Amino acid sequence: MKARVHVMLKNGVLDPQGEAVRHALGALGFDGVKGVRQGKVIELDLDAGATEADVNAMCEKLLANTVIESYSVEMS
């Protein structure tokens, strides 16, 4: 079983990496980009008995800083 966790900064939290990417895209001629938010994707290879609740617990304890980040989980 696999899980994919998407972690992003919450709205309202400054994203300096995203702003740097937006600026660089503008410098490359991509003027239509108004904003960029950069996040991370974490892929987990899990035992068959793992549940989405298990992955949520992993996120709450380690994978995401829930003070400033939000996350979503996809199980397959």
Q: How many domains does the chain have?
A: 1
Quote the tokens at residue 64. Answer: 């995401």
Query: What digits encode the pLDDT tens for the residues 11-55?
Result: 999 999 999 999 999 999 999 999 999 999 999 999 999 999 999
Domain extent at residue 70: 2-75
pLDDT tens track for 50-76? 999 999 999 999 999 999 999 999 999
Q: What is the pLDDT of residue 3?
A: 98
CATH of the domain at 15: 3.30.1280.10
Q: What is the pLDDT of residue 54?
A: 97
Listed in sequence order, the residues at least 6 apart from 73 whose beta carbon sits closer than 8 Å to its beta carbon are: 3, 4, 5, 52, 55, 56, 59
pLDDT at res. 23:
96
Give the pair of three-digit tokens for residue 34: 């108004």
